[in-house]
Homo-oligomer: A and B are copies of this chain.
Amino acid sequence: MQVSLIRYTPEPELTVASAARLCYSQISATQLQEKLTPTQVESLLRRVISSGHHSVLEHASFTFAIDGISRACSHQLVRHRLASYSQQSQRYVSYKAPDFVTPPSVADDPELSRQFEQAVLAAFAQYRGLVEAGVPVEDARYLLPNATTTRLVMTMNARELMHTCSIRLCVRAQWEIREIFEAIKEEVKKVAPIIGGALQIKCIIHDYCDETESCGIRPLKDES
């Protein structure tokens, strides 16, 4: 898996802070940007993040190239609807060589790992067989396994990144999508350290776990 931040709103934290300030101010957005000091930007951002007033975070958006994730994972990822996705199509792209993701629970066991690889290679061979027999690529792909890799470009704003990370950094999320958002968090931190630092599991934000069982990071709500 490779996750790279390929585009983002320039000066994302100043952008958010000046939008936040505008709501309570009599001067224009353009003037605000010139006047805010780094200390004011930080203080405004911290206040925005700790309160529930997150809409100003939407003015900063981030575009990621995500390569080499499984289709099992991409199916989960695109369920987050407040984002934009462009994904490599299995209808139009015909796979020559098998490229796939092996889950750690399988990869850690040499025998299971061998069986897994064999099964995936067999599926790819059957897929190629159908394509060569004249079946349209979009139909032959019905044999491709969830493990098959895909790539996509995803754009998400800082508010939705906060929401998505709050769910997908949780240990209850599957390992693969958790890896994506851990990588995203690191990428965002490089260019927007305060926003990046705010990409946290929901239990850390609320100081309690709202799941049925706690992993231990924070206690269940009733017990907190």
Contact = CB atoms under 8 A, between A and B. Distances in A.
Interface in A101-129: 101-106, 109, 112, 115-116, 119-120, 122-123, 126, 129
A101 B142 contact: yes
How often does this chain occur in the complex, in copies?
4
A200 interface: no
A96 to B, nearest CB: 8
B22 A59 contact: no
A37 interface: no
Contact of A142 (B6, B143, B146): B146
A143 B153 contact: no
Q: Is the interface of A mostly helix, strand, loop or mixed?
A: mixed
Contacts of A136: 105
Name the residue in A33, A116, A174 with the highest tally of chain B Cβ atoms < 10 Å from its Cβ.
A116
Contact of A155 (B58, B82, B103, B206): B58
Given A22-B153, A24-B93, A123-B123, 15 more contacts: A6-B29, A7-B59, A24-B88, A29-B65, A29-B67, A50-B210, A51-B210, A51-B211, A52-B210, A55-B85, A55-B86, A58-B84, A84-B157, A90-B146, A116-B142
Pick the 8 closest A-B CB pairs, nearest first. A29-B65, A58-B84, A103-B139, A81-B81, A19-B86, A142-B147, A119-B126, A19-B153
Interface of A: 2, 4, 6-11, 15, 18-20, 22-26, 28-30, 33, 47, 50-52, 55-56, 58-59, 61, 63, 65, 67, 70-72, 74-75, 78-79, 81-82, 84-93, 100-106, 109, 112, 115-116, 119-120, 122-123, 126, 129-130, 133, 135-136, 138-139, 141-147, 151-153, 155, 157, 166-167, 174, 202, 206-208, 210-212, 221, 224
6 contacts: A7-B10, A30-B65, A58-B84, A59-B84, A109-B133, A143-B147
